Amino acid sequence: MTHLGPPIRWHRNMRNNQPVTQHEHLVPEGTTIISETDLKGVITYVNDDFLKISGFSENELMGKAHNIVRHPDMPEAGFADLWQTLKQGQSWTGLVKNRCKNGDFYWVHAFASPKRENGKIVGYISVRTKPTRAQVKTAEELYRRIREGKAKGIRLNRGRVEPTGIRSIPYKLADLSVQARILIEITINAVILALIAYFAFSLAEDTDQAARDFDLKLLLGFICASFVATVSLGALLRLWLGSRFNLMATVLIKISEGSYRNNIEIQGDNEIDLLLERIKEMQGQLDCTMTKAKRHANVTDRIKFALDGSAASTMITDNEANIVYLNNAQIEMFKMAEQDLRTIYPDFDATRLLGKNIDIFHRNPAHQRNLLKKLSNPATSTITVGPRSFRIAMSPVINDKGERLGIAAGWIDFTAEQAIEREVDSIVQAAVEGDFNKRITLGGKEGFIKQLSININRLMEVSSEGLNEVVRVLEALAQGDLTSRITKEYSGMFGQLKEDSNQTAEKLTAIIGQIRDATDSIHTASREIAMGNNDLSGRTEQQAASLQETAASMEELTGTVKQNADNAQQANQLALGASDVAVKGGKIVKQAVATMNEISTSSKKIADIIGIIDGIAFQTNILALNAAVEAARAGEQGRGFAVVASEVRNLAQRSATAAREIKALIDESVGKVESGARLVDEAGSTMEEIVASIKHVTDIMGEITEASREQSSGIEQVNQAISLMDEATQQNAALVEQATAAAESLEEQSNTLAGAVRAFKLAH
């Protein structure tokens, strides 16, 4: 029982799964969602409906906490009430909003109860069905109020919403046990009886008639009231017990009819409701068990149908080696072997083996039983029954608890296989020895064995035919006939062998043809080589004579060139001496030019001095003229001074005349000096050109000398080469003679090769 009000902080297994959507999946009609958990809420089983509606796979759920499907809209108080109820060993019924894997949601009417084994709770079972839309709407409103803390004055008790306070009295009365209800009825009756006894005693002692009448009426009233109360309480108790027992009977009848989803309303904690709760738990567990059984039955049916229709023979025995199952293929196999098996077991009937013991197939049943009891892993054995041989693949059948239930065996009749194996071994051995003519007889063979025999015979025919064709072509090739080919059509490796053989013959034909053509060419070429060698021998001798004459001429030329080289060496030395003299002359001319330039400069300076003297004479003349004028003014007194002035003027005039003459001479000398300087400059330039020309001549003479030296060396090398050529020519003459002999030998060999090639027959 969980009180509501402020949000409950209950964290056991609480989980906020996100994200969520507003898309609802409606649970289909007739769907039962079942899951089982251990005591910690870890999922141990889910049915297919659970997987379909939740969107999870079985691997994603097994071993995970059940709150993996909890929706965040579910209040914590609801799960607190659920787990509190289950921990008390009671069942819980209510509406739950679950989350799908993709965030969608679905509403279920859930019934959760403890799972008991040997009187102990070992886990929990939850069975969910489709709720009505009215139930969903009511639950949505209730859970919203609980999440918002607005659910005042109510509580959750085992999934039921009950009021608190004085309004809870009817619910508490519903919790009264049957014993308490009977005790209440007995107590009320006892009180009424006590009152009746009291009034009866009072009536006996009452002497007043009026009082007696009153007490008598009162006594009768209590008696009537007691009767009515007793009858009413008995009727109510009977009605209540009848309704609850009728509900039990109805539910039990429906359960016996296979209906495990009956609505059982628990009204309280009394013995009747406790019994109904156990019936409800039983109903849920039966529903879970039957769902599991149907699931296993479906799996078993699928396996049986698969085995019945399987082409592989299958037999299943129990632990006592009794045959409990035979599929159709196994029965047909025994039918085919029935006549042979009756030679050993006259009463053998392939259609009546079910329930028989497999000892009928064994000569030593005790030994086989001992082996089968020890069988713990798949094994294979072979048995021979009369003319029939069987290969049996056996495997123990073990349930989830590790208990062995029997043996599953697959029978294969390989009698025909053994026969065909012997025939195939014989044919293969013959083929290994080169004999491809043997074949498998088809008489008495059917089905796969017959088809296998046909295919092997066909293989041998194709192999024999193909190899014979190859042998035919190779024999023709060995005899020199290159025209033989494989013309029949083959595929695969024989087709490749045909192509390779024909291509080999074609290529060999082409090679022989090329050899024949080459032989003819070699024969013609060898004849021409021999003729050419004879002609070459004569010309080689002529060349040797010419080389000897050339060698003599080259010796004379070598002497002439050496003399020219010596003369060029002397001329080069003379040119070097002339070059040195010219260089020295050039230097002297340069010095003369420099001296003339200095003389010209000095002459110019003298001219300048003469100019100064002329100026002084001019000024002196002016002074003398002035002195004469002053003397004339002075008269007698200045006569002497006038004479002196006249002399001075005369002297000045002569000085001026002499200065002019000297200047004229100096000007003429300067002109001649300048002319000489120009001539000297020209002579210097000419000397430089002469020096350059002499240097050029010297360089040319040096080059001529070097060229003469190199020419002399080259002529010596040519002379040596001619000597070597003379020797090589002599050797060539000898080789030509050898080549002539080789050509003659080649001609003989080509004739022999042509004869050998003519032995092959080629297509034209």
Task: Give the pLDDT score at 270.
Answer: 65
Q: pTM of this prediction?
A: 0.39
pLDDT tens per residue across span 702-754: 777 777 677 777 777 777 777 777 677 777 767 767 766 766 676 677 677 66
Q: What is the mean pLDDT of the chain?
A: 75
Read off the CATH number of the domain in which 359 is found: 3.30.450.20
Residue 206 domain-assigned? Answer: yes
When pLDDT is cut at 50, 70 and 90, the band that residue 7 belongs to is: very low
pLDDT tens per residue across span 188-213: 666 666 666 665 666 556 555 565 56
The mean per-residue pLDDT over the stretch 335-353 comes to 84
Of 536 and 165, which is predicted with more confidence? 536
**3-state helix, strand and coil shares in percent for the chain, rounded to the nearest 5:** 65, 10, 20
Q: Are residues 142 and 25 in the same domain?
A: yes
Q: Are residues 562 and 695 in the same domain?
A: yes
pLDDT tens per residue across span 630-674: 777 776 666 666 666 676 667 667 766 776 777 777 777 667 767
Of 24 and 638, which is predicted with more confidence? 24
In angstroms, rounded to a whole number, what is the distance separating the alpha carbons of residues 129 and 50? 11
Of 12 and 691, which is predicted with more confidence? 691
Domain count, the chain: 5
pLDDT tens per residue across span 456-474: 888 787 777 777 777 787 7
Of 712 and 394, which is predicted with more confidence? 394
Query: Is the pLDDT assigned to residue 11 strictly greater than 50?
Result: no
**Of the ranges 153-162, 420-429, 570-579, 684-693, the best mean pLDDT one:** 420-429
When pLDDT is cut at 50, 70 and 90, the band that residue 12 belongs to is: very low
Q: Are residues 38 and 149 in the same domain?
A: yes
Q: Are residues 211 and 336 in the same domain?
A: no
Of 40 and 383, which is predicted with more confidence? 40
Residue 303 domain-assigned? Answer: no
What residues contact residue 378 under an 8 Å CB cut-off, 6+ apart?
393, 394, 395
Residue 8 domain-assigned? Answer: yes
Q: Are residues 448 and 511 in the same domain?
A: no
Q: Are residues 631 and 528 in the same domain?
A: yes
In angstroms, rounded to a whole number, what is the distance separating the alpha carbons of residues 133 and 109? 11
Residue 725 domain-assigned? Answer: yes
Residue 236 domain-assigned? Answer: yes
Residue with tokens 């050029």: 696
In angstroms, rounded to a whole number, what is the distance separating the alpha carbons of residues 321 and 404? 12
Which of 118, 139, 164 marks a domain boundary? 164
In the DSSP assignment, the letter for residue 385 is E
Q: Are residues 159 and 250 in the same domain?
A: no
Query: Is the pLDDT assigned to residue 25 strictly greater than 90?
Result: yes
Which of 114, 135, 164 marks a domain boundary? 164
Task: Give the pLDDT score at 134.
Answer: 93
Residue 114 domain-assigned? Answer: yes
Task: Give the pLDDT score at 38.
Answer: 93
Q: Are residues 246 and 109 in the same domain?
A: no
Task: Give the pLDDT score at 633.
Answer: 73
Tell me the two tokens of residue 446: 């059917």
In angstroms, rounded to a whole number, what is the distance separating the alpha carbons of residues 485 and 498? 9
Which of 257, 286, 301 marks a domain boundary? 257
Contact 35, 58 (CB under 8 A): no
When pLDDT is cut at 50, 70 and 90, the band that residue 99 belongs to is: very high
Task: Give the pLDDT score at 10.
Answer: 36
Task: Give the pLDDT score at 3.
Answer: 44
The domain in which residue 695 lies consists of 494-757
The mean per-residue pLDDT over the stretch 52-69 comes to 92
When computed from its CA atoms, the radius of gyration of the chain, rounded to whole angstroms, is 74
Q: Are residues 186 and 113 in the same domain?
A: no
Query: Is the pLDDT assigned to residue 762 strictly greater than 70?
Result: no
- State what percent of residues in the chain have pLDDT above 70: 64
Q: Are residues 192 and 100 in the same domain?
A: no
Task: Give the pLDDT score at 101.
Answer: 93
Of 759 and 622, which is predicted with more confidence? 622
In angstroms, rounded to a whole number, what is the distance separating the alpha carbons of residues 705 and 566? 8
Residue 425 domain-assigned? Answer: no
Task: Give the pLDDT score at 210.
Answer: 61
The mean per-residue pLDDT over the stretch 103-127 comes to 89
Of 273 and 488, which is predicted with more confidence? 488
pLDDT tens per residue across span 491-500: 777 788 778 8
In angstroms, rounded to a whole number, what is the distance separating the alpha carbons of residues 472 and 493? 18
Residue 289 domain-assigned? Answer: no
Least-confidence region, from 329-343, 422-436, 739-753: 739-753
What does 149-213 look like in DSSP terms, one character per residue?
A: T---SEEEETTEEEE-GGGGHHHHHHT--HHHHHHHHHHHHHHHHHHHHHHHHHHHH---HHHHH
In angstroms, rounded to a whole number, what is the distance separating the alpha carbons of residues 732 and 720? 18
Task: Give exposure, 36-53, as e/b (b: 16+ Cβ within 10 Å).
Answer: bbeeebebbbbbebbbeb
List strand residue ranges (DSSP E) for 541-582, in order.
none
**Of the ranges 5-19, 71-85, 710-724, the best mean pLDDT one:** 71-85
Q: Are residues 362 and 452 in the same domain?
A: no
Q: Are residues 500 and 569 in the same domain?
A: yes
